[in-house]
Structure 1
Amino acid sequence: MPIPIHDPNHAPGGALKRLPLLKAAVTFIAAVCLCLCALLYFQLEQSRRHDLDSARVASANLTRAMAQQAQDTFVQADLVLASLADWIQNDGFGPSTRPRLQQTFARRVQSLEQLHGLFLFDKNGQWVITSFASLHRGAGIADRDYFKFHQQNASLIAHVSPAIRSRQNGDWIIPVSRRLNDAKGNFQGVLMAGIKMSYFDHFFRSFNLDAKGEMALALSDGTLLARRPFDESLIGQPLAEEHIYKHEPSSAGAGDAIIRSAPDGIVRLYAHQHLQAYPLVVTAAMSEEAILAGWYGTAFQSSLIVALVVLGICLFGWVFVRQVRNSERIEADLRKAQEALELIATHDSLTGLANRRLFERALDVEFGRGARQRSPLSLIMLDIDFFKRYNDTYGHVAGDHCLAEVAKVLKSCCHRKADLAVRFGGEEFAVLLPDTNLPGAMALAEQIRRSVIDKNITHSGSPTGYLTVSLGCHAFVPSSLDSIEVFIQRADSALYQAKHGGRNRVAALSMEDGLCALERSDR
C-alpha cells in the first residue's frame, strides 16, 4: 500500500498553534513592561515618601527649637514686666520715683538682647517712663491695639500684640504688655516691653534653610509677627487663609501640611508648633522642590534606564512578533501547497474524482472498520461502453469531455459523505459504498446507469446510438481473513459479466448467490 502523503492525525498547526503563541508573546511582553513600570513607580513613590518623611521629622525638630526659643524670649520679657509691674503698683510712678525707674528700665533692656525697650504709659496713653535716655514727647499711644486691649480688659496677664513700628525710633517691635491697676483696681496705665523683630530675624538666619523656604512667628489667629525672608508688606497681615492656619486649629499643638503658598505659588511643607504659654505659633516651611531635589535626579535616571529597557523589550517583541507572523504566513502557504499537493496526489485531474491511491487508502480503512463493526461493504465497478469507438469517432478531446460528464453523474449520485467515487483507470470507474448491502449497491448502480442515459450523449459507435455504461456490483461483510485484491476482482468479475451479457446493464456478484445479472436497456 502507498504511504499516505498527509497524516490526518497530525494536521498542520496541531502541535503548535501560532495564533495563541502570538497572543502569549504579546501578553508576556506587555506584562513585563507593565511590571517594570509598576516596580519603578512603587520604588520612586517609596523613595519620595521617605524623603518627605525625613523632611517632616527635620521640620518638626526645627519648629520645636523655634518654639522653645520664642517661648524663652517672651518668658524673659514677661518676667521683667511682672517684676516691674509689682514694683510700680506698690511704689507708684510719681516724679520722685521716675529717675530710678528709668535707670531700672535701662539696665533691664541691657541685660536682655531681645528687648528694644521698656515703656510705661499712663491711663490716657501718654508717655511716662522709657528705657531710653530721652523721653518721647510726641502723641500718646491711646490708638494702639495693646493699649485699647488693656483699657477694656481687667486681666493682668501679659498680652502679645501685632508687630508695630516704635514711635521712639521707628524700629519694628513686637509689643508684650501688662495692665497696671491702682490700689482700688482701677486702670492706671500700661507697661510694655518691645521685642526687636531683628532679634527673630537673626535667630531665623541661624538655621540652614533652602532659598525658597520660610520661617515665621505669628499670633494664633495667623497675624504675622516676624518672617524670614523679611517682607514688610506682610507684617501684621492676617494669614488665616494661608498654609496651616486653614488646615489646623490652634489646639492641635503641632502638625504639618504640604500646601501651595498663596503669595508666591510655591509648594512647601509647612510644619507648625504652638507655644504653650502664649497665643503664638511658629512655622517652618521647606519647598517641595528642595526636599525632592535628590529624588528628582534619581527618578530621572531610573526612569531613563527603565525606558531604555522597555524600549529594548518592545523592539525585541516587535521583531519576535514579525517573525511569528512571517512563520504563520509561511506555514499557511505551506499548508495550502500541501493541500494542493494532496489533492493532486489523491484525485484525478481530469474528472476531479478520487484516484487509485486514495481508493486503496479508503479500502484499507473501510476493511478495518467493517471487520470491527461487522458492517457490509459494497463496491461498484463501471465501464463506458464502446469508449474506444467514441474516441476514434469524436477524438480524444471529446473523449475527455465524455469522461468528465460520467464523473459528474457519479458525484451527483453519491449523496453520502462516506461514499467515494473513483476513476479507476482509463474509462473505468468505481464507487466504494461503506455500510451498504448488495441491494443498496445495485439500486445506486441502476441510478447511475439511468443518469448516464439521461445525459443523451450521442455515440454513433454504440448499438443504442447514445452513451451507456455497464456496472458490476459486489458486497460482503469483511473480516481479517479477507483480501482487498479479491474484493476488487469480484466486483470486476461482475462488471465483466455485465459487459459480456450485452452491456448497458447492472450485474451483481455475491458470496451466497454466485453471479446474478440485472439487464437494463432502452428498448
Structure 2
Amino acid sequence: MNTMTAINTDRPEPAPKKFPITTLAIGFVILVCMSLILLQAWVTWRAREVQLAETERAASNLARSVSQHAYDTIKGADTVLVGLVERLEVEGISEINLPRLHSLLIKRVEELPQLHGLFVYDQYGNWLVNSQPSLKKNGNNSEREYFMFHRDHTDRDAHIGPPIKSKSTGEWVVTVSRRFNNRDGSFGGVVLATIQMGYFKKFYEQFDIGNTGAIYVALTNGTILLRRPFEEGSLGRNISQLPLFHDYLPNAKMGTETFTSGQDGVTRINSYRQLDSYPLVVSAALSKEEVLADWKSEAIIHATGVACLVFGLALIGSRLIVQIGLRVQAETELLKTRNSLEQLNHTLEKLAMQDGLTGLANRRQFDIALKDEFSRAMRNASSLALIMIDVDCFKQYNDIYGHAAGDECLRAISKVVADGKHRPGDLSARYGGEEMVILLPGTDVAGAMKVAENIRQAIYHLELKHTGNSSGVVTVSAGIDAFVPVREHNQPLELIEAADKALYCAKSQGRNCVRVGNGHDA
C-alpha cells in the first residue's frame, strides 16, 4: 500500500462552535422584553382602533339626527309655502283677501315653533302681507338674494338661501322661499318663510360634542347656514374648497372621514350627509384629540408599567451587555480603522487618476481607458472615436496674462470639455499641457464631429479675452478620428496619431476649427 495515501485516524476533529452563554442570556432577555412591548403595543393600538370605531358610529348617528331635524324643520316651513303658493295662484291677490291672509300667516307661525316669520312679496319685491302682528306694507325686499333668484329662475322648487339678518327684528334667520306666478305664467312674486337660527342652536346644544366638536348645516354649494359653536363671522362663509366639499362629497353623498378643519385647524372625525329633498349638507364632527384623551391616559399608565418591567429585566442582564459592549466596541474601532484605510486608498487611487489642475482624468487614466475601450471595440466590432483638443496660441496667453491666468483659463475650458461628454462610458482627460482628449466609445466620425464642434463653439462663446489670438478671444482647435479596430491589425496608438494629425491640420488651416482624419472637414 502507498503510505502517502494513508489516513491519520489519531488526529482529533475540530469541535463544533458554540454560542457564548452571555449571548444566549442576552437573546433571551431581549426576546422577553420585546414580547412584552409588542403585546402591550398591540393591545394599546387595538384599544385605539376600537375607540375610533365607536366614535365614528357616534358621529354617524349624530349626523343622521341632525339631518333628520334639518329636513323636518325645512319641510314644515316648505309645506306652509306650498299651500300659500296654491292659494295665491288660484285666488289671486286683492285688497279684500289680504286681511284674511294676514290672519292665516300669523296662525301658521304660532303653530310652527321654528318659524320666525312668513312673508309675501309682489313681482317688484314690495311687501304685500306678512305674519307680523301689525300689517306693514311699506317695505321692499327686491335686493334680497332669494327674491332675485326667483325673479330670474322659473324653477318652482323650494329655494334655501344664505343666512341673513331679518329687516324686521335684526335676528339671524335661514330663508326658505318659493316663486308664485300670475295666471298668464309670468312672475307674480315670492313667498318666504324665515326660520329662527336659535331654533337650530337650541337643538344642537342638546348633544355632547366636547369642547372642540362641531355641527354645521351648509348648502350644497358650500355656503354655511349655521354652525355649532355659533360664530357670527362664519355664517354665509363659503367652504366649497375645504376637504369635505372638494374631496369627499363628489364621491359619496354620505360617509365618515377624518381630516383637519380649514376653519380652526382642529382634526375631527367628520360624519356627513347630503339631503335628497333639499340642497343641504349636514356634518357632525368630533375632535379626534378629545376622543383619544382617555385612551392616551390609559396607554401612558400601561406603558409605564411595561417600561418598569422591561427595565428590571434589562438591569439583570446589564452586566452581560456591558461585557459584550466592550468587545463590540473594540471590534468596531478595528472596523472603522479598516474602513478609513480603504477609503484613504480609494481617495489616493482616485487622485492618482485625476489631473490636479483641471479635475479631468489624467494621462495615466486615459491610457488605461483607451486600452480597455480599444479591446472592447474589437470584441464588439464597434466604432471608437477620439477628439484631441488644443488651446490656440496658449503660450502667448501665458506671456500676456501670466501663468495664474493661464491656469484659470484651462480650468474654464476643462469644464466645457467635461460637460461635452454625455454618456457614462465617455472620458475627458488632460493629455498634456494645454491639450485635452475625449474618448467616445461606440461613436462614429459624425457623432464625434458633432461633439467636437459643440465644444469648440461653447469655448468660443465663453469670450475669454486673448489679445494674442487673431479672434481676440480664447479658441481651440480639434482633431478627430474614429474607426472600428481589427484585432492584430490596429493598435491604440493609431487612433491617437490619426487624431493628432487631424489636430495639426486644424492648426495649420487657421485654428478655431475642427478637422477630421483623412482630410474630412467638420
Find the counterpart in structure 2 of residue 25 from structure 1.
25
Question: The residue matched to 2:154 in structure 1 has which SS?
Answer: coil
Secondary structure in 1 matching 2:221 = coil
Counterpart in the other structure of 1:142? 142
Alignment partners' CA distance in 1, 2:235 and 2:320: 68
Structure with the greater alpha carbon radius of gyration? 1
Structure 2 spans left out of the alignment, 5+ residues: 1-10, 327-522
Please say if residues 244 and 256 of structure 1, whose CA atoms lie closer than 8 Å, have aligned partners that are also in contact.
no
Matched, 1:220 2:220: yes
Does the 8 A contact of 1:120 with 1:191 survive in 2? Answer: yes
Please give the residue correspondences for 1:312-391 in structure 2 after superposition, counting only pairs within 5 Å: 312-321=312-321
Indicate the larger mover: 293-302 or 256-265: 256-265
Structure 1 position 30, deviation (Å): 2.9
1:210 matched residue in structure 2: 210
Question: Offset of 1:201 from its aligned partner?
Answer: 0.3
Amino acid at match of 1:35: S
Secondary structure of the residue aligned to 2:116 is strand
Q: Which residue of 2 aligns with 1:79?
A: 79
Give RMSD over aligned pairs.
2.5
Larger displacement relative to structure 2 (235-244 or 163-172):
235-244
1:237 maps to which residue? 237
Cα distance change, pair 250–109 in 1 and its aligned pair in 2 (3 A): farther
Name the amino acid aligned to 2:184: K
- Letter of the 2:247 counterpart: H
Question: Does 2:194 match 1:197?
Answer: no
Mapped to 2, the partners of 1:232 and 1:226 lie a distance apart of 9
- Contact map agreement 2:223 2:239 (CA 8 A) in 1: yes
Shift in Å at residue 88 of structure 1?
A: 0.8
- The answer (yes or no) to whether the contact 1:215–1:227 under 8 Å persists in 2 is yes
Counterpart-to-counterpart distance in 2, 1:39 and 1:63: 36
SS in 1 for 2:105: helix
TM-superposed CA distance for 1:204, in Å, is 0.3
CA distance in 2, matches of 1:285, 1:279: 20
1:135 is displaced (CA, Å) by: 4.1
Equivalences, count: 318
Give the direction of change, closer, same or farther, for the CA distance of 1:312–1:138 in structure 2 (3 Å limit): farther
SS of residue paired to 1:252: coil
Contact 1:60 1:271 in 2 (8 A): yes
User: Take 2:205 and 2:325, find their aligned partners in 1: how far apart are those partners?
Assistant: 69
Cα 1:172–1:322 shift into 2, 3 Å: closer
Q: Classify 1:183/1:38 alpha carbon distance in 2 versus 1 (closer, same or farther; 3 Å).
A: same
- 1:54 is matched with which residue? 54
Contact kept, 8 Å, 2:128 with 2:137, in 1: the verdict is no
Partner of 2:409: none
Partner of 2:122: 122
Aligned partner of residue 247 in structure 1, secondary structure: helix
The CA deviation at 1:298 is: 1.2
Matched, 1:93 2:99: no
1:220–1:250 contact (8 Å) kept in structure 2: no
Q: Per the alignment, do residues 211 and 174 of structure 1 end up closer, same or farther by CA in structure 2, a change over 3 Å counting?
A: same
Of all paired residues, the percent bearing the same amino acid is: 34
Amino acid at match of 2:94: G
User: By how many angstroms is 1:250 displaced?
Assistant: 5.4
Alpha-carbon spacing, 1:206–1:321, altered in 2? closer, same or farther (3 Å): closer
Query: Are residues 251 and 105 of structure 1, via their aligned partners in 2, closer, same or farther at CA, if it must alter by over 3 Å?
Result: farther
Encode CA deviations 1:94-128: one digit per residue, 9 max, x unaligned. 11110011100000000000000000011111111
Q: Please list every run of 5 or more consecutive structure 1 residues that lacks an aligned counterpart in the other structure.
A: 1-7, 327-523
Structure 1 partner of 2:272: 272
1:296, 1:251 → 2: CA distance?
Answer: 33
**Offset at 1:286?**
0.8
What is the deviation of 1:39? 2.1
Corresponding position of 2:67: 67
Amino acid at match of 1:260: T
1:320 positional shift: 3.7
Give yes or no for contact 1:243–1:257 (8 Å, CA) kept in 2.
no
Contact 2:116-2:193 at 8 Å conserved across structures: yes
Report the secondary structure of 2:317's partner residue.
helix
Question: What CA deviation, in whole Å up to 9, does each residue of 1:281-336 have, x standing for no partner?
Answer: 1111111122112211111011111211221222112134457899xxxxxxxxxx
For 2:138 and 2:182, locate their aligned partners in 1 and report how far apart those are by CA, in whole Å.
25
Kindly indicate whether the alpha-carbon contact (under 8 Å) linking 2:179 and 2:187 is maintained by their aligned counterparts in 1: yes
Contact persistence 1:271–1:284 (CA under 8 A): yes
SS of structure 1 residue aligned to 2:121:
strand
Q: Deviations over 1:27-81 (max 9, x none)?
A: 3333333333222222211111100000011111111111111111111111100
The answer to whether the 8 A contact 2:116-2:195 is kept is: yes
Residue matched to 1:474: none
CA distance in 2, matches of 1:163, 1:310: 60
